[in-house]
Every structure is written in C-alpha cells, then in structure tokens.
C-alpha cells in the first residue's frame, strides 16, 4: 500500500488526537481552578523557574519526573511547585503528581542528598508524601522555608 492509496483523513488523525487531549486538559484545568499559564506567586521568598523534580510518593511519579520545567516558589505561607506551559497540558501534572501547593506547616522535613551530578532535596510532607527537587540554590530554598 502506498501513500496514494491511504485516505487523506488518516493524516489528520494524529494532530486531531493530540489537539483533543490538549483541549480536554485545558477544560479540566479550568474546571478545577488550576491555571493554564502558571505565574510566580507575588511576594515569594524563594523563586526558581526551570527547576527539576519528581513526586516520590508513587512509582509513576518517580519515573516521570520533570526536567527543567517546574516553577518552585516559597511564600510566607505555602510551597508551590507546578510545571509551566506547555508541560502542564495533556494531564502530565495529574499523572505524575507534579503539582504541589501545601502550607509551610505541613512540611515535616527537608533532607539533602547527593546524587551523581547534583544536589537533591527531598521534601517530606506531614501526610506521608514526598517530593524530590533539584534546585540551583538549595540553601536559599531551605532558608525561605525557615522564614517565620
């Protein structure tokens, strides 16, 4: 069978499929009050764009981490971790657990580990979840978490 024998509508199927998933993802985010274009919180004590990390709470989160596509911010009240556009589409944050918005009071510990090439912070939450972060300035992040 050659490409001349294939009906023309077959070539439109993959873009329509991807477009459908993106549209469904946008509608889901709007319906659940999640931003389409995440922004850095005002008055953040610590802010980093293009951070890396993974949700350590379940196996799919550990294998599906984010590489240089997370926004990490610490305000006086909460820790915010979210992927920015376009990585927050197609249900990737929901599948891999890449969106975290928790009060600072629910952070139990922050553990520093050394991996092969970079420093890692493991943030443990009081509900048993944990999140692995690779930040440019882990000391500034830890200092912001200690802010009263």
Give pLDDT tens digits for 9-39: 888 899 999 999 999 999 999 999 999 999 9
Output the six-digit token pair for 80.
């915010």
Question: What residues of the chain score a pLDDT lower than 50?
Answer: none
Question: What distance separates the 2 farthest-apart alpha carbons in the chain?
Answer: 69
User: At 137, is the secondary structure helix, strand, or coil?
Assistant: coil
In a 10 Å sphere around its CB, with 0-12 CB exposed, 13-18 middle and 19+ buried, how is residue 41 labelled?
Answer: middle
For all residues of the chain together, what is the average pLDDT? 90
Radius of gyration of the chain, Cα coordinates, nearest whole angstrom: 19
Domains and CATH numbers, the chain: 46-146 (2.30.29.30)
Give which of 95, 34, 84 is closest to 60, Cα–Cα: 95
**pLDDT given for residue 8 in this prediction:** 79
pTM value is 0.86
What's the CA angle centered on 67, arms 132 and 134, to 5 degrees?
35
135 vs 119: CA distance, rounded Å: 8
Handedness of CA 83, 87, 89, 95 (dihedral sign): negative
């Amino acid at each position: 069978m050659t490409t001349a024998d294939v009906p023309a509508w077959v070539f439109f199927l993959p873009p329509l499929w991807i477009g459908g998933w993106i549209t469904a993802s946008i509608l889901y985010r709007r319906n659940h009050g999640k931003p389409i274009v995440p922004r850095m919180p005002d008055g953040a004590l610590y802010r980093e764009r293009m951070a890396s990390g993974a949700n350590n709470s379940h196996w799919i989160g550990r294998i599906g981490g984010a590489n240089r596509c997370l926004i990490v911010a610490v305000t006086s009240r909460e820790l915010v971790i979210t992927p920015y556009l376009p990585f927050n589409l197609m249900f990737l944050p929901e599948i891999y657990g890449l969106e975290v918005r928790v009060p600072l009071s629910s952070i139990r510990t922050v553990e520093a580990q050394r991996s092969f090439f970079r420093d890692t912070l493991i943030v443990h939450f009081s509900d048993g979840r944990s999140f692995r972060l690779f930040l440019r300035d882990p000391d500034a992040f830890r200092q912001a978490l200690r802010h009263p």
